[in-house]
Chain A
C-alpha cells in the first residue's frame, strides 16, 4: 500500500477529552458519525452532562438543535449494547464557538420512562420534548407543560413506537364528530 492510503491520526475531539476528564463515570459509549461526536451517557447524569456541555466556556454547545428518541425494540444489536433499554433519547447540539456538532444519546428503559427535562437549560426544548412525549411516551420530568403537540388531545398511544400499527387502530375511520373538540 502506498503512503497516501495511510489514515492520518486524528486529534481527539475536545469534547471527548473533557468528558473523559470530568464525567468519565457517566460515559457509556463514544462514537463518531460523519464528523459528529456521538456520546452515550447514563440517564442519571444526562442533565449534568448537557449542562456541562452548554456552560463550559471551551465547549459552549449553546444551541440545542433537536430532541428526539429512537425505539430500538426491534434492533437486537442496539438493545444488547445498552442493557436492553428500549428507547434512546437523542439530543443534537451545536457549538457556534467551535463550529461543531455533538450528539448525546441517553438510554431509557421501558419500565422507567422518566428523564430530566432540559427546558431549564434551553427554552427551545419545550416543544421538542412535547413532540418526543407525544410520539414515544417519554416522560420529561420538570417540563412545564407536557401535553401532546401533534396528535389530537384525545389520541391514545404513542404512534412512533414500533409496536404501534402503521395503519393505526381504526382512528382514521372511526369518528365521533360530536365528541371532537370542534
Chain B
C-alpha cells in the first residue's frame, strides 16, 4: 500500500509488530484518500470528468470522492481559464478548504493564461493562490491529470509541506 516501514518485525514477534512514525501513517492515509474539489470552468473540466469516469477511473488512486464543498476536500483542481471576475471566487474557495491542502493547476489557461492574453483573464492562478503541481496541455489528457495526482501523492508521502504552508512560513 505504499507505506514505508521504518522498523522490521523483531525475530521473537515473528513479524507481527511493525514500528513506524505517526507522520508516516498519517501521510499514508492522506495520500491514498485525496478528496478533490473540482473547480472546472472550461474544456479542461471535460477531461477532468473523463478522468473520474470509468474509463480512466481516478478511484484506482483513492481520489474518487469528489467534494463540491471546499470544506470537505483537500485537493483543489483548477481546470480551466479564470477570469478577473472569477478569481475572487476561486480565492475564497481555496481559503475555505481546511489545511493541509494541495492545488493542481490543470492546463495552459490555469497555469499561464494560455492563448487568452487579454484584459479579462488571469495569467496564471499561481499569482494569487499557491500551486503544487502544474499540468501542461490544452487540454491535458486524463493520463496527465492522473500523473499530477500521483505527483501530489508522492509529495505527501515524502512529508513535504504543501505549497500553501510554505508560503505562510516564508
Binding site for B on A (CB under 8 A): 150-152, 155, 159, 164-169, 171-173, 175, 177, 180-182
Contacts and interface: CB of A to CB of B under 8 A. Distances in A.
Contact of A173 (B92, B120, B127): B127
Contact of B120 (A168, A175, A181): A168
B123 interface: yes
B92 A159 contact: no
A175 B120 CA distance: 12
Is chain A's binding surface mostly helix, strand, loop or mixed? loop
A6 to B, nearest CB: 48
B92 A167 contact: no
A166 B88 contact: no
Nearest to A181: B88
A172 B121 contact: yes
Interface residues of B, number: 16
Nearest to B86: A152
B119 A169 contact: yes
23 contacts: A150-B85, A151-B85, A151-B120, A152-B85, A164-B119, A165-B119, A166-B117, A166-B118, A166-B119, A167-B118, A167-B119, A168-B118, A169-B119, A171-B119, A172-B84, A172-B123, A173-B127, A175-B87, A175-B88, A177-B88, A177-B91, A177-B128, A182-B92
A165 B121 CA distance: 13
A175 B123 CA distance: 13
Contacts of A167: 117-119
Interface of B: 84-85, 87-89, 91-92, 117-123, 127-128
Contacts of B122: 172
A159 B87 contact: no
Contacts of A180: 88
Contacts of B123: 172-173
Given A177-B91, A180-B88, A172 B128 contact: no
B120 A159 contact: yes
Contacts of B119: 159, 164-169, 171-172
Given A173-B123, A182-B91, 19 more contacts: A155-B84, A159-B119, A159-B120, A165-B119, A166-B117, A166-B118, A167-B117, A167-B118, A168-B120, A169-B119, A171-B84, A171-B119, A172-B119, A172-B122, A173-B127, A175-B88, A177-B88, A177-B91, A177-B128
Nearest to A164: B119
Contacts of A171: 84, 119
Contacts of B89: 182
A180 B117 CA distance: 23
A30 B87 CA distance: 45
- Which 5 A-B residue pairings sit nearest by Cβ, starting from the closest? A168-B119, A180-B88, A152-B85, A182-B88, A182-B92
